[in-house]
Structure 1
Amino acid sequence: MRVLLIGGAGFVGSHVTDRFRAADHDVVVLARSPNRFNPSHDDVTYHSGDMADVETCDQALSGVSCVIHMAGSTVPGTSDQDPEADIRNNLLSLFPLLKRMRHHHVRKMVYLSSGGAIYQDKRGGPSSEADPLGPLTSYGVVKLAVENYLQIEARRHGLNTVILRPSNLYGPRQGRVGVQGLIGTLLWRVAHNQPIEIWGDGEIRRDYLHVRDIAELCLRTVEAQETGIFNAGSGLSHSVSDIIAKVRRISGRNFDVIRKPARAADIKTNVLCCAAAREVFHWTPAIDLDEGIADTWNWVLGNSRAALI
């Protein structure tokens, strides 16, 4: 199958590219810039540019059967700084893509939304796909808007849509220090002997998923016929203090922790129920948190010169 990976050179996208190559699919990547941590592959077709550009989009969609949309220009911590740009770059760019997909008769899309930014705080247990939504950032609002427009596209034009709501993703090639990803940021800072900064009392709890596990789920969604909305997480919650303790133990290094005031956009607890993905796609995460942090730490040590680029 020929599959277009939009954002296929990014942190998540580069791992999805690897998984689809290993499964012998014909991979096309559309990305704004290359991944500095992962070289290009001779058996992958690359297009550089934006999915809103008609000519670029037409070239990338030629002969494609399915699109996986992983591109994004903001994260929860930055989206509220310029909501207008968030909407323009991450929502409005969707419509020319959908139009060109109709033109090329591409009738399936897998979209990576967010399981961490759109649910309300549910301290009593994991959030399922049917639970109330309540995004607190522009990032979450835009992710949810894209979901809704994809469902309109499905009803009106027959697009087969799979929406994945991942929890907090981490793993090798996550190199944007201090912007997104607690685990990646901690490990990069520890590798450079820098202090750790956290917001609040360290008791915020999150669900963490290794990037290779979401890549595996992307493959299974493309190879299956089912559509719908599916959470993708470990189903386990870990506090910031838990993560710090694990990083200390696994890295074997000590470091200072600087505590800053809690942020209004940080809900107290976010953990996902992933029973639907397990039932429909026979998917469960294969990499536990300790193994995943160790894997990421070893990668960071081998790439520490690029940490602050």
Structure 2
Amino acid sequence: MSDLTPENKLVALTGATGFVGSHILDRLLRSGFSVRLLARDPARLAHRDPTVDIVPGSLDDTEALRRLVADADAVIHCAGLIRGVTRTQFDAVNAAAAGACARVAREAGVERFLLVSSLAAREPQLSAYAASKRGGEDAVRAEAGGMGITVLRPPAVYGPGDREMLVLFRLMGRGLAPVFGAPDARFSLIYVEDLAEAALAWLTSGGSVADILELDDGQPGGYGWEDVCDAVSSITGRRVRQLKLPGGILSLPAALNTAVGILTGYDPMLSLGKLRELRHPDWVSRTRDSPGIPGWKPQHRLVEGLLKTPGWRD
């Protein structure tokens, strides 16, 4: 497969109204690619570059997906569900829709397909979300045919526009770090603009990219809670105290959230599945298990990324 350069090349993108997808869209446009988007609510993208082609529709609309991928040189599937309770909820978006998007892309003759998955897919037994992300990877590979497939598994993503990690960083900026699960847990992080750069590098790298690629910000061995506290403290000049929460303290609210979610359709962030993810001791990306993306290198460790992230400091 040849490298993709911006001249007269069309990229089809899902998830452009989301946190990660919006950054990928901006990066593609700055690089000169033509972009076509799928959007349930096109008005949310009205402020974007007027050259962007927007296909109204949802992920379960096969005809809309076909219009999205028609004549595209590559597809980046970034849409996903992060809040929910049941496996059915998560599978509909993270697994079935991913497979459907890959199928119509293959049928349209698209040569390359990028799935932005999650590091959670490495541990599908932990939660419905994690299982659905693994299911999405399996579905996309099953539909690949001769289409080149790459799966990106980013760890926790933060940066401008984030709402999930921002809550934690706000607390830490005020001097308090709630520690969930094992105090010695290790985890990787990535700044959202570095993830967008990885997607761009994938586009321009030809076919020499691993099937599944776990990403991070280049921090060897990931971070521990003490490392994150030190990074925040170095910016704010304020000591960050760790509040080590007992293992069972969140079990009751997580169980209640899960029950209410099942009964009412409410989509909580903290569910029993999410709690199992939080308690998992190893979310360090295994970046050395694959050759990486040619031309891509993360530019932001945690301190540099936090300095560019608005809204968490008083």
Q: TM-score, normalised by structure 2?
A: 0.75
* Paired residue type of 2:138: N
Query: Secondary structure in 1 aligned to 2:115?
Result: strand
Please, which of 205, 209, 213 is the counterpart of residue 186 of structure 2? 205
Matched residue, 2:133: 143
Structure 1 residues 218-297: aligned runs within 5 Å: 218-223=199-204, 224-227=206-209, 228-233=211-216, 234-236=218-220, 237-252=222-237, 258-262=243-247, 263-265=275-277, 266-275=279-288, 280-296=293-309
Aligned-residue Cα RMSD (Å) equals 3.0
Is the CA contact 2:181–2:280 (under 8 Å) kept in the aligned structure 1?
Answer: no
Tell me how far 1:106 sits from its aligned partner. Answer: 2.0
Please, which of 107, 118, 121 is the counterpart of residue 121 of structure 2? 118
Could you say if the C-alpha distance between residues 90 and 213 of structure 1 is closer, same or farther in structure 2, counting changes exceeding 3 Å?
Answer: same
Matched residue, 1:122: none
Identity %: 24
Could you say if the C-alpha distance between residues 73 and 32 of structure 1 is closer, same or farther in structure 2, counting changes exceeding 3 Å?
Answer: farther
Aligned length, in residue pairs: 274
Q: Which consecutive unaligned segments of at least 5 residues does structure 2 have?
A: 1-8, 248-274
Query: Secondary structure in 2 aligned to 1:272?
Result: coil
Query: Secondary structure in 2 aligned to 1:50?
Result: coil
Distance 2:192 2:147 in 1: 26
Could you say if the C-alpha distance between residues 239 and 255 of structure 1 is closer, same or farther in structure 2, counting changes exceeding 3 Å?
Answer: closer
Q: Is residue 68 of structure 2 the alignment partner of residue 56 of structure 1?
A: no
Matched residue, 1:3: 11
Could you say if the C-alpha distance between residues 300 and 259 of structure 1 is closer, same or farther in structure 2, counting changes exceeding 3 Å?
Answer: same
Matched residue, 1:161: 149
Provide Cα deviations, 1:16-55, integer angstroms capped at 9, x if missing partner. 1111112110012224457989942223223343122123
Distance 2:160 2:238 in 1: 19
Q: Which consecutive unaligned segments of at least 5 residues does structure 1 have?
A: 120-132, 305-309
Is the CA contact 1:14–1:35 (under 8 Å) kept in the aligned structure 2?
Answer: no
Tell me how far 1:174 sits from its aligned partner. Answer: 0.5
* Paired residue type of 2:93: N
Matched residue, 2:268: none
Matched residue, 1:45: 53
Please, which of 281, 289, 311 is the counterpart of residue 300 of structure 1? 311
Could you say if the C-alpha distance between residues 95 and 111 of structure 1 is closer, same or farther in structure 2, counting changes exceeding 3 Å?
Answer: closer
* Paired residue type of 1:58: R
Q: TM-score, normalised by structure 1?
A: 0.77
